Amino acid sequence: MELECGENVMTSNLKYWIWLGSLVNTTPARKYRLLQYFRDPALVWEASEAELEASGLCTKKLISSLKDKNTRNETERAFESLIRCDAEIITFNDRAYPELLRHIADPPLVLYCRGKLEPEEKRVAVVGSRRATWYGLDMAKRLARELAEHGVTVVSGMARGIDSQAHKGALEAGGRTIAVLGCGIDKAYPPENRELMEKIMQNGAVISEYLPGTEPVRYNFPARNRIISGISLGVTIVEAGEKSGSLITADYALEQGREVFAVPGNINSHNSTGTNRLIRDGAKVVTCVGDILDELKVSHDSKNTYSVNKKSALMKLGKEEKTIAQRLLNGPVHLDVISRDCGISVQMASSILLMLELSGFVEQLPGKYYRLVE
Amino acid sequence: MYSKIISCGILGIDGYIVEIETDISNGLPGFDIVGLGDTAVREARERVRSAVKNSGYEFPLKKITVNMAPANIKKEGSSFDLAIAMGILASSGYISQSAVQKSMFAGELSLDGEIRPVKGILPMAVCAHQNGIRYLFLPEENAREAAVVKELHVIPVRDLRETAAIINGEIEIRYFEDAGGEKGPVYYDTVDFADVKGQENAKRALEVAASGGHNCLMLGSPGCGKTMLARRIPTILPSMTFEEALEVTKIHSIAGILPPGVSLVNTRPFRCPHHSISDTGLVGGGSVPKPGEISLAHYGVLFLDELPEFSKKALEALRQPLEDGVITISRVNASLTYPARTTLICAANPCRCGYFLDEPGKCTCTPRQIQQYLAKLSGPLLDRLDLHVEVTPVKYTELESDKAVESSLEIRKRVERTRKIQLERYRGLSIYSNSQLQPAMFSKFCRLDKKCRSILKDVFERLGMSARAHSRILKVARTIADMDMSEEIRPVHLTEAIQYRSLDRRVWNL
């Protein structure tokens, strides 16, 4: 069914793809069915009202917006500025279009891409809440790093919190990572991630189904989640509260037949309600990266050796330093608590912690919390 | 007939002798007061006229001229009423001129001749004593305040008639006897550091601040205890000497905030102005110059809660007095100097929603919002704050615990010891505490050994410490060493000092 087209035809055709892809008054699924019916967006463009009506896919409203002159003119303009932008435009029929994505119920017709999509790579999504705890942030980073070390590409949404940490973890390991945005790919959102976005483009790709220039509006984000799960073999939810957006990604993953992994959390923590419920409902528990790699049939020899490694590193420290470092094994602790639990005066503890910080063992968090460096 | 009565004016926080010259001569009846008086002084004419008449004397129907010498200094307030009335009585022959030569008069008159309390009695009493005056006639309510000057005979008077009678020897003089035991306003008799459970880190930091006179910034979420901690700082400051107490009382007396019946402010003041305060309110000034909050907090604590809410102008105005310990206000006629040697304690939320320092996830601010909020704090004022204290809320279990907590008294003993070490070290220099160390003195008093220098270098290179932290760290390290009674600064002192510079570190750039 693929339309084998020459390069020139492609370019001239591109306009129609972009037009149909960026049409706002309908759902991606409806657009996909239009494409299937007419075979080519150019034919949709040219179709008469009667033909559109005959397809049985169009409401009156949709027909009028398909025929709308203004939208068509706007597309012309957008197309011209697109040609100048360095974005790569990948249409549904292109070979570069991710194969996995092609088979979901409502694939985006066009993907705008900066960076490079590798067709053969194994992708796993690592997503979670924007307002995460230290535990969630750490786990996201560690899992992403270890996935990347095993050659898996980490997909996420570049949002604050878990998503950003996932990208950072993959980059730290020198691996590939893909960010799926809910706005145009010329926009860094959230703005503090501009630098991160540059790095992702160099070591992977930033993709979006929205035209460059699209503002990050709220209702775009749930829709982009279907792409996150759509291009991945599995989705890992690291931390999600009761109503986290990452649970939408998990729902899409189930719909699309992807693996769903969840990192267990403290049952009292409202930041982990969502992930714990996923586990109860059958998601695969992730206690180390091996749990994900097993499902992907990637060979590995990893076990959860985290706490063992940390403990052995601490054996080399002096007595008081060791007491303090051991108190930090289970996550960040406040200075006052360290001092009380270790029986060391607060000024002494503070002094020791700075020395541990200088030697790279611990790091200080806002609010005089301290934790071990991984 | 001519007469001369002595009264007192206030310039800055000191009194100066004002001679009230009264001349009654033949001519068209009239009553003029010359000598640069303000509105209150000009209105004294009406009060004096009625008071004299209603006290049973005949107000002379002649030309009356009152001159207040020195005539080139602007005189303010209603405290000259009594002296002017006495001048008229003396000129009219109701009282003997020779009897009042060694006396000073201060007080406001009511229309029926009663004498009302006035502001600034203490500086007047001090001025009287310094100028060899033996008797001070003043309103009853002010007597206790003046009685602090022991060598002076304080004569409280109720009304004009009584005053004249005392001078004429018709009734016996009642000197004011200080009943004693009247302590100054105790700003903190009900608070103690023993009330604060947990917060060991913050308490330690405040002890360091108190020991070295360091200005300090507390950051923490709403309700975490910043204000509670700040209110307790005066309780650990060393007690005031008599000279210090006298100076503070003078300022409070001039500002008119001395509670009735209080002779001497002998506890360190704690001032916490609301953040809507103007720059004038904070540092002093106004068309009728008054000491500002920073002067009222002289030798005590000035606490600015919600620091970012204060107007930029007000905070900028604080910079110079914080550095110099005095604030000079220039007016056309005179320039006044108020002392302003205070420990500045500021409190602020770490971000707009306030919860950035609590466990992650609670704060709803974006990183950019946090940066914007902190940018409000930064700048020259931040450069004058030696310690940054992060305060986090106490867990309920700590509130419940009955673990013994150190009382303010115990902490104060240590603070006093540390202050003494500093006073001795800086004897002969113009400074009295580590917070006043100038960069030129660092090589002498804050020498670092090789180990310390390498730690400091590491900190600057690896923790992303900004350069302005350097001198602050040295000063605070000096104080911590003093608290430890150590002549040299050791690594443990230095590292603790470094930990009090949170805002200069990358920790905050998440």
pLDDT (tens digit per residue) in B149-175: 888 999 999 999 999 999 998 988 888
CATH code of B320's domain: 3.40.50.300
Which tokens sit at A210?
């929205």
Whether residues B294 and B240 share a domain: the answer is yes
Q: How far apart are the C-alpha atoms of A278 and A263, rounded to whole Å? A: 9
Expressed in angstroms, the distance from the first to the final Cα of chain A is 51
User: Residue B115 forms beta bridges with which residues?
Assistant: B109
Whether residues A277 and A312 share a domain: the answer is no
Which tokens sit at A345?
């005066």
Interface test with B, best of A348, A354, A361, A371 (most B CBs within 10 A): A354
Residue B304 lies in a domain: yes
- Kindly report the nearest CA distance between residue A265 and chain B, in angstroms: 15
Residues in chain B with CB shorter than 8 Å from the CB of A336 are: 198-201, 392
Q: How far apart are the C-alpha atoms of B36 and B69, rounded to whole Å? A: 9
A339 and B361 within 8 Å at the Cβ level: the answer is no
Residues in chain A with CB shorter than 8 Å from the CB of B201 are: 335-336, 339, 346, 350, 368
Q: How far apart are the C-alpha atoms of B379 and B279, rounded to whole Å? A: 17
Averaged pLDDT for residues A276-286: 95
B200 and A340 within 8 Å at the Cβ level: the answer is yes
Q: Which of B150, B167, B184 corresponds to the end of one domain? A: B167
Q: How far apart are the C-alpha atoms of B335 and A15, rounded to whole Å? A: 78
Tell me how far the alpha carbon of residue A109 is from its chain's centroid.
20
Whether residues B276 and B391 share a domain: the answer is yes
Please give the pLDDT value at position B329: 86
Burial of B179 (0-12, 13-18, 19+ CB in 10 A): exposed
Residues in chain A with CB shorter than 8 Å from the CB of B366 are: 160, 190, 192
A133 and B492 within 8 Å at the Cβ level: the answer is no
Q: How far apart are the C-alpha atoms of A366 and A357, rounded to whole Å? A: 14
Nearest by CB: B366 against A190, A339, A368? A190
Which three-class secondary structure state does DSSP give residue B346? strand
Omega before B70 within 30 of 0, i.e. cis: yes
B390 and A358 within 8 Å at the Cβ level: the answer is no
Whether residues B239 and B101 share a domain: the answer is no
Query: Which among A120, A122, A132 has a CA at the least distance from the CA of A166?
Result: A132
Residues in chain B with CB shorter than 8 Å from the CB of A131 are: 360-361, 364
Q: How far apart are the C-alpha atoms of A159 and B355, rounded to whole Å? A: 21
Please give the pLDDT value at position A8: 45
Query: Which among B84, B90, B89, B82 has a CA at the least distance from the CA of B34?
Result: B84
Q: How far apart are the C-alpha atoms of B270 and B232, rounded to whole Å? A: 9
- Kindly report the nearest CA distance between residue B105 and chain A, in angstroms: 57
- Kindly report the nearest CA distance between residue B234 and chain A, in angstroms: 22
A365 and B198 within 8 Å at the Cβ level: the answer is no
Whether residues A79 and A127 share a domain: the answer is no
Residue A214 lies in a domain: yes
Q: Which of B132, B152, B167 corresponds to the end of one domain? A: B167
Any CB–CB contact under 8 A between A137 and chain B? yes
CATH code of B113's domain: 3.30.230.10
Is B494 within 8 Å of B472 (Cβ atoms)?
Answer: no
Any CB–CB contact under 8 A between A365 and chain B? yes
Residue B33 lies in a domain: yes
Residue B186 lies in a domain: no
Residues in chain B with CB shorter than 8 Å from the CB of A347 are: 204, 480, 496
Q: How far apart are the C-alpha atoms of A156 and A162, rounded to whole Å? A: 9
Any CB–CB contact under 8 A between A368 and chain B? yes
Whether residues A147 and A218 share a domain: the answer is yes
User: Residue A204 forms beta bridges with which residues?
Assistant: A177
User: Residue B452 forms beta bridges with which residues?
Assistant: none
Q: How far apart are the C-alpha atoms of A172 and A156, rounded to whole Å? A: 15
Contacts 24+ apart (CB under 8 A), A39-48: A39/A1, A39/A3, A40/A3, A40/A13, A40/A16, A41/A13, A41/A16, A41/A17, A41/A109, A42/A13, A42/A16, A44/A16, A44/A20, A45/A16, A45/A19, A45/A20, A45/A72
Q: Which of A29, A59, A84 corresponds to the end of one domain? A: A84
Please give the pLDDT value at position A305: 62
The b/e string for A33-57 (b: 16+ C-beta within 10 A; e otherwise) is bbbebbebbbebbebeeeebeeeeb
Whether residues B338 and B229 share a domain: the answer is yes
Residue B498 lies in a domain: yes
Whether residues A215 and A282 share a domain: the answer is yes
Whether residues A66 and A203 share a domain: the answer is no
Any CB–CB contact under 8 A between A194 and chain B? no
Whether residues B366 and B227 share a domain: the answer is yes
Residue A312 lies in a domain: yes
Whether residues A265 and A154 share a domain: the answer is yes
Q: How far apart are the C-alpha atoms of A372 and A172, rounded to whole Å? A: 18
Task: Sheet containing A153-156: give its strands across.
Answer: A88-91, A110-115, A204-208, A177-180, A153-156, A123-127, A234-237, A259-262, A284-285
Is B335 within 8 Å of B329 (Cβ atoms)?
Answer: yes
Q: How far apart are the C-alpha atoms of B288 and A207, rounded to whole Å? A: 68
B366 and A271 within 8 Å at the Cβ level: the answer is no
CATH code of A253's domain: 3.40.50.450
Look up tokens 């009287």; give the residue.
B128
Whether residues A292 and A321 share a domain: the answer is no
Query: Which among B350, B393, B392 has a CA at the least distance from the CA of B370?
Result: B350
Start-end of H helices in chain A: 7-21, 28-38, 41-46, 49-55, 60-67, 69-84, 99-102, 134-149, 162-172, 194-202, 220-230, 246-255, 273-280, 289-296, 306-314, 319-327, 335-342, 346-358
With a cut of 50, list the residues of chain B below it in pLDDT.
181, 184-185, 187, 510
| Total of domains in chain B | 3
Residue A41 lies in a domain: yes
Q: ipTM score here?
A: 0.77
Whether residues B20 and B80 share a domain: the answer is yes
In DSSP notation, B157-207 reads ESBHHHHHHHHTTSS---PPP--S------TTTT--GGG--S-HHHHHHHH
Q: Which of B371, B399, B414 corresponds to the end of one domain? A: B414
- Kindly report the nearest CA distance between residue A239 and chain B, in angstroms: 12
Give the chain B residue whose CA is nearest to the CA of A356. Answer: B495
With an 8 Å Cβ cutoff, the interface of chain B facing chain A consists of 198-201, 204, 350, 356-361, 364, 366-368, 390, 392, 455, 458-459, 462-463, 480, 491-492, 495-496, 498-499, 502, 505, 507-508, 510
Any CB–CB contact under 8 A between A133 and chain B? yes
Residue B45 lies in a domain: yes
- Kindly report the nearest CA distance between residue A190 and chain B, in angstroms: 9
Residue B356 lies in a domain: yes
| Total of domains in chain A | 3
Is B123 within 8 Å of B109 (Cβ atoms)?
Answer: no
Nearest by CB: B199 against A160, A336, A347? A336
Omega before A190 within 30 of 0, i.e. cis: yes
Whether residues B507 and B373 share a domain: the answer is no
Which three-class secondary structure state does DSSP give residue B38? coil
Whether residues B49 and B156 share a domain: the answer is yes
Torsion of CA A111, A114, A119, A122, to 10 degrees: -100
Residues in chain A with CB shorter than 8 Å from the CB of B350 are: 366-367
Q: How far apart are the C-alpha atoms of B442 and B453, rounded to whole Å? A: 13
- Kindly report the nearest CA distance between residue B258 and chain A, in angstroms: 40
Query: Which among A144, A197, A131, A349 has a CA at the least distance from the CA of B510?
Result: A131
- Higher-confidence residue of A226 and B329: namely A226
Whether residues A267 and A351 share a domain: the answer is no
In DSSP notation, A300-315 reads ------HHHHHHHHHT
Whether residues B330 and B384 share a domain: the answer is yes
Please give the pLDDT value at position B180: 55
Q: How far apart are the C-alpha atoms of B187 and B189, rounded to whole Å? A: 6
Averaged pLDDT for residues A41-67: 86
Query: Which among B467, B454, B448, B451 has a CA at the least distance from the CA of B505?
Result: B467
A364 and B356 within 8 Å at the Cβ level: the answer is no
Nearest by CB: A364 against B198, B356, B507? B507
Q: How far apart are the C-alpha atoms of B86 and B92, rounded to whole Å? A: 10
Residues in chain B with CB shorter than 8 Å from the CB of A129 are: 361
B201 and A339 within 8 Å at the Cβ level: the answer is yes
Residue A361 lies in a domain: yes
Is B293 within 8 Å of B318 (Cβ atoms)?
Answer: no
Is B64 within 8 Å of B31 (Cβ atoms)?
Answer: yes
Residue A37 lies in a domain: yes
Q: How far apart are the C-alpha atoms of A347 and A326, rounded to whole Å? A: 19
Q: How far apart are the C-alpha atoms of B311 and B313, rounded to whole Å? A: 5
Whether residues A241 and A311 share a domain: the answer is no
Whether residues A268 and A313 share a domain: the answer is no
Specify which of A15-24, A146-155, B395-404, B424-433 reaches the highest per-range mean pLDDT. Answer: A146-155
Whether residues B217 and B281 share a domain: the answer is yes
A350 and B361 within 8 Å at the Cβ level: the answer is no
Interface test with A, best of B197, B351, B359, B483 (most A CBs within 10 A): B359
- Residue A312 structural domain: 306-372
Give the CA distances from residue B107 to residues A319, B73, B118, in Å, rounded to whole numbers and listed in that order.
72, 20, 6
A192 and B356 within 8 Å at the Cβ level: the answer is no
Phi, psi for residue B293 in degrees, rounded to 5 = -60, -35
Residues in chain A with CB shorter than 8 Å from the CB of B510 are: 366
Whether residues A270 and A172 share a domain: the answer is yes
A334 and B459 within 8 Å at the Cβ level: the answer is no
Which three-class secondary structure state does DSSP give residue B487? coil
CATH code of A315's domain: 1.10.10.10
Any CB–CB contact under 8 A between A367 and chain B? yes
Q: How far apart are the C-alpha atoms of B331 and B335, rounded to whole Å? A: 5
Q: Which amino acid is at A119?
A: P
User: Residue A261 forms beta bridges with which residues?
Assistant: A236, A284
B392 and A191 within 8 Å at the Cβ level: the answer is no
Residue B425 lies in a domain: no
- Residue B222 structural domain: 193-414
Q: Which amino acid is at A241?
A: G
Whether residues B228 and B341 share a domain: the answer is yes
Please give the pLDDT value at position B430: 82
Please give the pLDDT value at position A294: 92
Phi, psi for residue B388 in degrees, rounded to 5 = -110, 120
Residue A246 lies in a domain: yes
Whether residues A192 and A239 share a domain: the answer is yes
Residue A95 lies in a domain: no
Any CB–CB contact under 8 A between A164 and chain B? no
Phi, psi for residue B284 in degrees, rounded to 5 = 100, 165
**How many CA within 13 A on the CB side of residue A174?**
2
B360 and A132 within 8 Å at the Cβ level: the answer is yes
What is the DSSP code (8-state) at residue B110?
P
Whether residues B20 and B150 share a domain: the answer is yes
Any CB–CB contact under 8 A between A320 and chain B? no
Phi, psi for residue B63 in degrees, rounded to 5 = -85, 115
Other Cβ atoms within 10 Å of A347 Cβ, number: 23
